[in-house]
């Protein structure tokens, strides 16, 4: 490593340390961070890698980001890993993704950092659309961490927010038809409780990587008053300083909640 590279590393670490101190000292905290992890394929294409390599590097990046959120002390982390629309991708790419989910969930479930920090792992989405080996890995991760409550790590797999809301509407309709839910009791709280995220707070901050500025059928109901942050970097290139900058930007915004 040359002198300029070493200097760059030193300066980068200094910037990260400064941002981290500012975040820790600020009165506004991120309690629930949600991330749309976008750009694995484009990162691979730009780097002349196979698509599967991009997805694997993206998986490794998620492990790092989970470490960073634990360090910062963010109690809830939710990531968009696979949408229902993504299930239309080529069979070979999906097989690679499913293998990574299987591998990643089992690794997380056995990771001592998860148990030391008492991280509850949960998966939301249309699990029936996933292959058995992925569902087996989901069961393994959820069962090994089901008693934890210090942090909650949620992975959205085969997830679509419109589908989620349709499921909630069906649940409400069935309960009303059976007489278990009166019409006047159907309100925002009733809807929220019947979403896949019914036991979770709404996200404070939603980050999307890769330069795209859209939310792609992700937590549409839940992010009604979330702050949005769009990063230009592809997900595999997302760095700790990028996360810290997003949080500092959030802390400096005045949340209006529609006022």
Q: Is the pLDDT of residue 137 over 80?
A: yes
Report pLDDT for 15: 87
Report pLDDT for 49: 94
Report pLDDT for 5: 55
Domain 3-159+196-252: assigned CATH number: 3.40.1180.10
Residue 153, SS3?
A: strand
Report pLDDT for 172: 98
Report pLDDT for 11: 67
pLDDT in tens, 23-59: 999 999 999 999 999 999 999 999 999 999 999 999 9
Q: Is the pLDDT of residue 257 over 90?
A: no
Residue 35, SS3?
A: strand
**H or E element that contains 204:** none
Residue 69 backbone dihedrals phi, psi, to 5 degrees? -70, -35
Residue of 8, 166, 158 lying closest to 83 (CA atoms): 158
Spans of all domains in the chain? 3-159+196-252
Confidence of residue 4 (pLDDT cuts 50, 70, 90): low
Residues with catalytic roles: 38, 86
Report pLDDT for 259: 63
Q: Of 13-17, 49-53, 108-112, which range is least confident?
A: 13-17
Tokens of 116: 């030391």
pLDDT in tens, 217-242: 999 999 999 999 999 999 999 999 99
Confidence of residue 204 (pLDDT cuts 50, 70, 90): very high
Residue of 112, 81, 108 lying closest to 97 (CA atoms): 81
Report pLDDT for 196: 97
């Amino acid at each position: 490593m040359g002198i300029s590279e070493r200097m760059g590393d030193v300066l980068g670490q200094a910037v990260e340390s400064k941002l981290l101190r500012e975040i820790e000292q600020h009165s506004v905290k991120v309690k629930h961070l949600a991330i749309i992890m976008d750009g694995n394929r484009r990162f691979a294409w730009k780097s002349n890698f196979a698509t599967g390599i991009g997805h694997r590097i993206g998986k490794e990046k998620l492990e790092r980001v989970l470490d960073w959120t634990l360090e910062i002390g963010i109690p809830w982390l939710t990531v968009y890993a696979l949408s229902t629309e993504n299930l239309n991708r080529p069979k070979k790419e999906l097989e690679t993704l499913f293998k990574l989910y299987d591998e990643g969930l089992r690794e997380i479930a056995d990771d001592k950092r998860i148990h030391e920090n008492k991280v509850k792992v949960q998966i939301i989405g249309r699990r029936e659309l996933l292959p058995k080996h992925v569902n087996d890995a989901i069961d393994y991760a959820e069962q090994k961490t089901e008693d934890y409550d210090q942090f909650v790590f949620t992975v959205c797999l085969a997830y679509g927010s419109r589908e989620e809301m349709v499921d909630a509407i069906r649940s409400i309709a069935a309960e009303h038809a059976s007489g278990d839910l009166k019409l006047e009791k159907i309100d925002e709280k009733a809807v929220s409780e019947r979403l896949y995220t019914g036991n979770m707070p709404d996200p404070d901050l939603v980050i999307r990587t890769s330069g795209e500025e859209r939310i792609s059928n992700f937590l549409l109901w839940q992010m009604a008053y979330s702050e949005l942050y769009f990063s230009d970097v592809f997900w595999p290139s997302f760095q700790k300083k990028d996360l810290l900058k997003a949080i500092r930007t959030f802390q400096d915004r005045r949340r209006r909640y529609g006022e």
